[in-house]
A = this chain, B = another copy of it.
Amino acid sequence: MSASDAADVPVDHSGLRVMSTEECMERLSRAGLGRLGFVLAGEVTVLPVHHLVHGMELYFRTSGGSKIEAAADHSAVGFEIDDYDRATVTGWSVSVSGTASLVDDEQLAEELAGLDDAPWPGGDPSDSVWVRIRPDQISGRELLPH
């Protein structure tokens, strides 16, 4: 890589490459599993969820009556995907901050079920609700090769 190529790569204060929003959304679409961070009764919980991207929003299904459902009523949430390889010290992450809400539109719920080509095991789909995450902020970082 020439000096002029290197100068074209946007980096943050830690020397990580900064991804465009487009690249972040593309990686979110490809990843099947992310981690949701939410607050309930003053406690912060981070749990894995199997998500999908539809338009500019993220969706995942959760069991009715769960902790996540209780936190999805227009609450602030965080969402993250990443991939790291300690051996080669390569990796990247995408982090989303936004607002979660329950999907109460049955037509959309059916559409989402159709998009979900590999539903995650555990839990009965008939006893589940779709949760929407509307992103307010999306950022992505990647370790540059040394």
Interface residues of A (CB under 8 A from B): 13-16, 32-33, 35-39, 42-48, 63, 76-80, 82, 84, 86, 89, 91, 93, 95, 97, 118, 121-123, 136-137, 143, 146
Contact = CB atoms under 8 A, between A and B. Distances in A.
How many copies of the chain does the oligomer comprise?
2
B16 A93 contact: no
Contacts of A89: 121
Contact of A122 (B16, B37, B42, B82): B16
A78 B46 contact: yes
5 contacts: A13-B63, A43-B97, A45-B78, A47-B80, A48-B84
B43 A137 contact: yes
**Chain B CB within 10 Å — which of A14, A32, A77 has the most?**
A14
A13 B67 CA distance: 13
A39 B37 CA distance: 9
A44 B118 contact: no
